[in-house]
Amino acid sequence: MLNVFKRNDALSFVALVLLAMVLKVHLLMYPPAWSSLQGFMKATLFNFPGIEAFYQSNPIAWILLSALIQTIFAVYLNFTLIRQKLFQQKTLVPAAVFLIYSAMVPACNILSVAYISGMLIFIAFSLSMDLYQMQDARSRVYNIGIFAALGTLFFFPSVLFFLLFLVMILILRSANLKDMVAFVLGYLTPVYFAFGIRFLLQKKNTHFYFYKHLQLPLQVSTFLYFGVITLISILLLVYAAYLNNHAGYRIPIGVKKKWNTVFWYFFMAALAGVFAPEFPAYTWIVAIIPFSIILSQCFLNNLEKYNTFTFYFFLLAVFGIQWFLNS
């Protein structure tokens, strides 16, 4: 199966869609508990109670819509990583890894404000990876600020990425003051319009949703489930980090810089993703996106004899968690 995704042809796209469908069977039979989804449509400044009510009355329809958007985003994520040459070959493995790993946390398969924020932050991150080779990047940096701010407006802990992108600009643009100003202006633009809309709508209780996003995880869903996914995630992360440094082939300096930013991206995303009253909850999708990028290293390296074993271990572990720990 791994070789099918490595081919990056029409058959591999069909296999990716089939994989997404198989991974959603359990989700359709056992929709995520409401305790892990409370407030999943409360953005930083806006609330969407109609969607929450729709999910409670018809969860299957919302799950199917979420699955469609998730699959499209997985293909976009994969396309971006290949375009940025983070991997040596054209492949659909990163998209497959993203779909598989996110299936371990049912709530992370539901379209939520955190999910939308995660997608917007990834778009900003993908735009930032080209900064080091651009002569005039002010328009690009301005757009990065816009997408980063939009991510924060949907999920407030994503404000942490402001620091990440600022540091990336300092490093990749050699502390160019004009670029930094352009980023800040781009970041402030959506915020200005969002508060303007709030003012026109005469919404005064903005602080309510702001604090909703800053709850620390005081409990876990079940200790066994939390322990298993944590152990598997750490093992795969360490293995992927090892392979990243011992890839068996020469990595260009520019690509090496991009991989370093991916690890910083994951670190900030992990900090943002833990803000939820119960862990793991729908907010963890913010961290799953960069984690799946790192995890793809487990299956795209010169150690071919280990790749297939690791992939099937990963797949069986996810199915086991789905059907035995989440049922």
What is the domain extent for residue 29? 2-325
Which residue shows structure tokens 């049912």?
106
CA dist., res. 216 & res. 257, Å (int): 32
pTM value? 0.92
* Per-residue model confidence as pLDDT tens for the chain (327 residues): 788 888 878 899 999 999 999 999 999 999 987 767 878 888 888 888 888 889 989 999 999 999 999 999 999 999 999 999 888 788 999 999 999 999 999 999 999 999 999 999 999 999 998 887 778 888 999 999 999 999 999 999 999 999 999 988 887 777 678 888 999 999 999 999 988 887 787 655 545 555 566 677 666 667 788 888 889 989 888 887 776 666 555 677 778 888 888 999 999 999 998 887 777 888 999 999 999 999 988 888 777 777 888 888 899 999 999 988 876
Our count of domains for the chain comes to: 1
CA dist., res. 95 & res. 247, Å (int): 20
pLDDT score for 249: 59
CA dist., res. 49 & res. 169, Å (int): 38
Tokens of 285: 């999708």
pLDDT score for 293: 94
pLDDT score for 122: 98
Exposure of 151 in the CB half-sphere (CA atoms within 13 A)? 31
3-state SS class at 238:
helix
CA dist., res. 176 & res. 230, Å (int): 40
- Name the nearest CA neighbour of 230 among 291, 275, 141: 291
* DSSP class per residue in 151-178: HHHHSGGGGHHHHHHHHHHHHHTTS-HH
* Helix, strand, coil percent content, the chain, rounded in steps of 5: 75, 0, 25
Q: Which residues, at least 6 apart from 271, have a Cβ–Cβ distance to it below 8 Å?
A: 157, 160
pLDDT score for 148: 97
